[in-house]
Structure formats: structure tokens, C-alpha cells
Amino acid sequence: MTSSITLFVTGVTTGLFAGGASCAAVQGGLLAGAVGRRATASASDTPGAPDASERSGLFAPVGVFLGAKLVSHTLLGAALGLLGAAVQPGPRTQAGLLIAAGVLMVLFALDMSGVRALRRFVPRPPASWGRRVRRSAKSTAVSAPAVLGFLTVLIPCGVTLSVELIAVTSGSATAGAAIMAGFVLGTGPLFAVLGFFLRSAARLWRGRLTLATAVVVLLVAFWTLGSGLRLGGWWPTPATPAAAAAATPSGAVLTHPDGSQTITVQARSDSYSPGAITAKAGVPTILVVATNDTGGCARSFTVPDLGVRKDLPVTGTTTVDLGTRKPGTLEFTCAMGMYGGRITFQEPAAQSLRTAPEQETVS
């Protein structure tokens, strides 16, 4: 299970730098309309210049809108996480979902940049949903901002859809809720500002931010695509076998009297160490992943080529039977593709040519 804290931070960052303006383009007018009508209704009830209490009262609809939006998206994230847990997608399937999320972000960014040829490929919610939600914006009822905030889950922007796919890959109600809650909180500052402008002001803000938002969404998309490619084991291996051999520290590979070997990797909160290991091909191999007060995504350990996914303890050891490997490279990574490493298996003859003291024999 991917770390809920890691996903929460990912959600906040995505919402703050990519989701705020893009979601405001879709949903900002709803909040502006509701707040504007509430202000108009309040002014008609109390003619004259608004006093301090009336002005401060405008903060309430904004807070209610954002609070209801947080609730609905958190519940949706939990449901998507449960869906992922029920389906239990393997590393390659998770990688495919991450890549799909990245592609969706690219399409949305290009659409925002004015590439009309791709507009028909951008997923959009049914128009009937949008019409029903927008009708609610015309109400002056006290509950209108809360209803609108809750119903924004029905008219997501492209970035929201991408984050929802990531929630599915989390495989946990808690983790799915964390990334969606973080995303809404990240978009909160811009929505809070937009809440005090009329619809025309929101449109002006949206127009000025469209291009900048598209650029940021593209950056997030490339990061997501890279994570998916790495998680799937499709990311090109930059290190040569010679470089991998030189990087293998003493004790990382232990050869036993029966000819089998054990490879030990330390899972830290922000990396795996060593990240490049050279071992013998053609012999039974056990991989031991050790943790010591480890947190974050590194605790969700995957070996894409083997379809292996292990939830590591905070402190302890976890074994993975790699079998008898042929010469080649085996990648390992966290469930979000952020941290990883590789094991290069070589023929024993090639192993004997190495001068690095990483091999030790257990008597």
C-alpha cells in the first residue's frame, strides 16, 4: 500500500501548481455565482453600505463551498482506493493507470493551449450533470454553496480525473482519500480568492492563467508518465554493467556454500540502497529488503517483471524469491515509480573478473 502521507503531499502539490487554475476554469464560476447571489440577497435585505459583519459574512459561503467539496472528493478518493484494493492491480496495471493519467494531463494541457484538434479526445462529464449543478448556482438559499461544493465532484477538470486514476492505483481507502483530500486543499487558495469575484472577474482570471496552467500541467504530466514507465519497468536503464558492478558495496551480495546467493537492499524513506547491484546469473537468488523506521512510498516495494508487490514493515526484513535468473537486468521500484534500482545478473565467469570486494562467502 502506497504511503498515505506521500500521496497526500502529491495531491497538495498537484492541486496547488496544476489543479487550481484548471479546476477554476470549470468550477470557479459556480462559486462566484453562488457567492454573488448571496451577496445580492444580503444587500437587498439590508439596504445601504455593508458593514464589517456583512463583509465578513461573505467568507462563510466560500468556506462552506470548499468544505463540502473536500468532503465529496475525500469520499470519492476512499471509494476509488477501495476499488483498487478489490481489483488488486499488479505493478504493470498500476503503471498503465499512471501512464493513462499522464496522457490525460497532456491532452488537457494541449486543449488549454488552444490545440482544437485534440479537444474531442479530452474526457468531459455528461453535459446534463453540468446543467443540473449550474441550476443550483442560481439559488439564494443558505445551503446553496454547500450543495454546489459537494456536487463539483460531478464536473471534474482534466487534472482531477488524472488524480482519480492515481487514487485507484493506491489500493487503499485511506491512501485514495489522502490524495483527493490533498488535491482539494491544494486548489483551495485560488478558489478562496475567486470566491470574492463576480463571474466576469473569474473569467478574466481564467484567461490570464490558461497558458501558464497548461505549462504546469504538462510538467506534472511528464512526471506522472516517468513514474508510470519506471513502475512498469520500461524506463531505460542508464547505468552500464561496469558502473553497476563498481557501485555494489561490500555485503550487498552474499554467496552461500551451496552456490545460492542473497542480495540485501536497504529501503529508506527516500531511496533504495544500493540502487545498482551486480550478482551471479544461473544460481538460486533470494532478495532481502530491510527497513529501519522507514516511511513513505519506499515501503511499497515492487518488482515489475515478476509482478511482485510487497508492503514492507516500518522496521524489519522482507524476502522475495527471485528464482534462478538468466543474464540481464531486473528493475525494482516503489509503487509510485519515484524511487527504484536495478540488479544486473552476470555469468559467473564475468563475475570473477571483478575486483570490487562486494562478494562474501558465508561459511
pLDDT digits (tens, 9 = 90+) for 190-237: 777 765 554 444 454 455 556 666 777 777 778 788 888 887 878 755
| Res. 77 pLDDT band, cuts 50 70 90 | very high
Same domain, 207 and 277: no
Can you name the residues that pair with 307 across neighbouring β-strands?
Answer: none
Distance CA 99, CA 117 (A): 21
For residue 69, give the amino acid letter: K
**Would you state the pLDDT for residue 308?**
87
| Res. 291 pLDDT band, cuts 50 70 90 | very high
98-107, 143-152, 172-181: least confident range: 143-152
Is 335 contained in some domain? Answer: yes
Percent of the chain with pLDDT over 90: 20
Distance CA 258, CA 256 (A): 5
The arithmetic mean of pLDDT across residues 155-178, rounded, is: 83
Residues 254-258: contacts with CB under 8 Å, at least 24 apart: 254/359, 254/360, 254/361, 254/362, 255/280, 255/359, 255/360, 255/361, 255/362, 256/361, 256/362, 257/361, 257/362, 257/363
HEC assignment per residue over 51-76: CHHHHHHCHHHHHHHHHHHHHHHHHH
Q: Which helix (H) or strand (E) holds 255?
A: strand 253-255
Top-confidence range, 131-140, 265-274, 278-287: 278-287
Same domain, 211 and 260: no
C-alpha cell at 46: 439590508
Q: For residue 131, is pLDDT > 90?
A: no
Top-confidence range, 48-57, 119-128, 150-159, 333-342: 333-342
**pLDDT, mean over the chain:** 75
Q: For residue 139, is pLDDT > 70?
A: no
Neighbours of 136 (CB within 10 A): 18
| Res. 343 pLDDT band, cuts 50 70 90 | very high
| Res. 56 pLDDT band, cuts 50 70 90 | very low
| Res. 162 pLDDT band, cuts 50 70 90 | confident
**Would you state the pLDDT for residue 17?**
73
Range of the domain at 121: 4-231
Same domain, 143 and 57: yes
Is 189 contained in some domain? Answer: yes
Write the CA distances from 231 to 72, 179, 348, integer angstroms: 30, 19, 29
Q: What pLDDT, in 10s, does the model give residues 19-40?
A: 666 676 666 656 655 555 544 4
**Would you state the pLDDT for residue 345?**
93
Is 349 contained in some domain? Answer: yes
The arithmetic mean of pLDDT across residues 324-346, rounded, is: 88
**Would you state the pLDDT for residue 241?**
47
Q: For residue 123, is pLDDT > 90?
A: no
Q: For residue 363, is pLDDT > 60?
A: no
Same domain, 196 and 253: no
Same domain, 257 and 353: yes
**Would you state the pLDDT for residue 39?**
46
Is 312 contained in some domain? Answer: yes
Same domain, 200 and 160: yes
Is 62 contained in some domain? Answer: yes
Same domain, 189 and 279: no
Neighbours of 115 (CB within 10 A): 12
* CA nearest to 319, candidates 342, 294, 285, 343: 285
Q: For residue 282, is pLDDT > 80?
A: yes
**Would you state the pLDDT for residue 34?**
55
Same domain, 72 and 146: yes
Same domain, 297 and 324: yes
The arithmetic mean of pLDDT across residues 71-91, rounded, is: 88
